[in-house]
Chains A and B, each alone.
Chain A
Amino acid sequence: MISKTFLKETRELMRDGRVRIAFLIVIVLLGVAALISARQYKNVNEQYELAKRSERAIWDNQGEKNPHSAAHYGTYAFKPKYPLSLLDQGVDKYAGTSIFLEAHKRNEAQFSAATDQTGLARFGDLTPDFILLFIIPLLIVLLGYNSFTKEREMGTLTLLKSQGVSAWRWALGKWTALFFPVLIITAALFLVAGIVLSNLDDFGVFSWSSLFIMFVVFVAYYIIFINIVLLISSLAKRSGISLVVALCIWIIACLAAPKAASNIAESKYPYPTRQEFAANVLKDKKEGLDGHNPWSKQAKLLQEQVLKEHGVDSLHQLPFNFDAYRMQKGEEHEAEVYFKHYNYLKDQYIKQSRIYKGLAAISPYLPARFLSMSIAHTDYATHWDFADAAESYRIATQKFLNDNFAENSEFGQWSYRADADFWKELPAFEYNPPELGTILSDNRSNLFILGIWLMASFGLLMFTTKTI
């Protein structure tokens, strides 16, 4: 009975001109979105590779130079574009692509794609994630809203009941008929994306297992929508009512809930303004050692302490350059200040994320979106991870430079120049994003909520169709 109903429903769907047009539109949109994203991905990756190579070449070829001058000259940490961002661009567009690493200062990521766009970008981009997260659920609504109501309206329900139809088998037949075309479209997109990505040169951290898990997340997301749409159709008296209710659910789940979650999270745990943040950092910085100011109270205290430790009475008697040593100590103080203030931001972010996760119970969109972005390495967590890695690299770089300055010169010898080959000894910045296992572990609550949505909606559908 399930296969008969599946075949019947599929035939009806395929013979409906509106359905064929809807399918065609979705497939064309997906194709265009995938093409645009693949081109963007290729361009960004080429730019990334070029920028990384040229910046390293500039660093390596600074020639003879004072290490602290080099620290101020700085370098860049570039955020790689990950293969699965082809499918879900997440917050990449807004998060910035590179961080300038310099002495005394932790900078934020800059040069985001959004800043290069005009106001028209507010209309949004045609990306695969837009199709996957918004359009396919809408397609499910359009395909399934009258699945049960049409039987009532056409009068076929009476004949079906007189034939002794088994309600759950019949409902399962309808369910599979709606699920199958959605599965085909999604599987085709992911398969094509997988083949394209695995054939790209230097495709980075692409893994079929990540792609497969992402596919499973989207399939689960669609199953939830199928369950909800069929549930509405089974309860509604007329197709018109069913369509309106299903569209309302789509609007709430996909459009209203994410924005409401964002507003609630932001109002409950707000970030400080840029000015506040900068003022707080400056205040804390001033309360500690400034590596460039030998006359400050903190610098004098440090001087006394170091002289005492080494049992000498002049800075010239120290076995290292005290200027560089002070610079490093100042750097460490500044790093602590930044650590404290960025940790506060991160705490706010974690609290906001908890609100999001809590509100995921009101919309399957939220857990699906968080999982998808995490797997694609395009979420804020990955961005934070990258920013932290860049900061650790900045701190290590400053120590590397200050140590060289301290060990190879004497107090007051600002004319010291490090060897032209010295710069090459600094290890290159490499960032490895979290592994799939870590991502899934960090997203346990999202997986759990998605699972609850999946089982509850299916159970409710089966329970309701029993009484048809």
Chain B
Amino acid sequence: MIITNNLTKKYGEQTALDHLELEVKQGEIYCLLGANGAGKTTTINLLLGFIEPTSGSAFINQLNVQENPKETKRFLAYIPENLMLYPSLSAVENLDYFSGIAGKKLSDADLKGFLAEAGLQTDAFGMRISTFSKGMRQKVGIAIALAKDAKVLLLDEPTSGLDPKASNEFGLLLQKLRTKGVATLMATHDLFRAKEVGTHIGIMKDGSLRQQLVAEDISLSELEQAYLNTMEYKELVL
């Protein structure tokens, strides 16, 4: 579903992404780990078609993103770190608008059904987004992806700033989407969540993918060690 071939992005002399080779298949959750500036968000922006690659190519559902910017967006949903919705509109109205923009015509019952599926409490459906917590907004984001029937989900640090309960709920939602065959690429700093929900984990540094791991093959401590080794952290000596 998601393929990148030698995907490279340079800003002048600086290389933000260096020959990225990546594949996320249907029903997989690929977690990209890395420090700030490692190239995670650049990867997502290239897959979204927001920026043009310097070289290489990215594919969503076998379509070249650069050549088919509109078509590829039909298959994907995106949830940024801070999902911003229209504060004066309710959850239902926001969902109705964003799915409408994507060309979906949904009844009120359908919209509420997606919000419920995304785990939003029923009494919050009609409430204005301005009263929502970040966790609730992320659930509306998942509902938007569900309503769009997205085949690919791109997440940019979606659990950052969420409390553990909300973060856990979000992880469960991703698992649910995985069972539906959605291919998810999630950029995150959260090693624990990556191990919990991911099927595959990639560790990036300085724009290149340094390690690729299968989540079930390693423990959390092994993942932590692999991450630290990649980052070349030295043990803190007191």
Residues of A within 8 A of B (CB): 1, 4-5, 7-8, 11-12, 15-16, 154-156, 158-165, 170
What does DSSP make chain B's interface, helix, strand, loop or mixed?
mixed
Contact of A4 among B48, B73, B100 (CB under 8 A): B100
Which residues does chain B contribute within 8 Å of A12, judged by CB atoms? 86, 88-89
A162:B78 contact, CB within 8 angstroms: yes
- Of the candidates B73, B85, B141, the one whose C-beta lies within 8 Å of that of A164 is B73
Write the B80-109 contact mask toward A (1 if CB under 8 angstroms, else 0).
101111111100010011101111000000
Instruction: Kindly identify which residue among B86, B97, B102, B103 contacts A154, using a CB–CB cutoff of 8 Å.
Output: B86
Sorting the interface of chain B by its residue count into under 10, 10 to 19, 20 to 34 or 35 or more gives 20 to 34
The dominant DSSP class at the A interface is: helix
**A162 and B48 within 8 A (CB):** yes
Does B70 have its Cβ within 8 Å of any Cβ on chain A? yes
Please tell me if the beta carbons of A4 and B84 are within 8 angstroms of each other in the complex: no
CB within 8 Å: A-B pair count: 67
Docked-complex contact A159 and B89, CB < 8 angstroms: no
Cβ distance A26 to chain B, nearest Cβ, rounded Å: 21
B236 CB to closest chain A CB (Å) equals: 36
Report which of A4, A7, A8, A162 forms a contact with B77, defined as CB distance below 8 A.
Answer: A162
* Contact B101 A165, beta carbon cutoff 8 Å: yes
B residues 60-79 with Cβ under 8 Å of A? 70, 73-74, 76-78
In the complex with contacts A1-B101, A156-B86, A163-B73 CB distance below 8 A = yes
Which residues from B are CB-within-8-Å of A158?
50, 78, 80, 84
Q: How far is the CA of A164 from the CA of B48 in the complex (A)?
A: 10
| A164 contacts B86, C-beta separation under 8 Å | no
A155 to B84, CA, bound (A): 5
| Shortest distance between the CB of A352 and any CB in chain B (Å) | 50
The residue in chain B whose Cβ has the minimal distance to the Cβ of A169 is B101
Partner of A11, one of B50, B70, B82, B88: B88
B40 within 8 A of A: no
- Which of A4, A5, A8, A155 lies in contact with B80, CB distance below 8 A? A155
Contact assessment for A4 and B88 in the assembled complex, using a CB-CB cutoff below 8 Å: no
Cross-chain contact of A8 among B50, B84, B86, B102 (Cβ < 8 A):
B86
Residues in A with CB closer than 8 Å to B80 are 155, 158-159
Chain A residue nearest to B71 (CB atoms) is A164
Cross-interface CB contact of B48 among A1, A5, A7, A161, cutoff 8 Å: A161
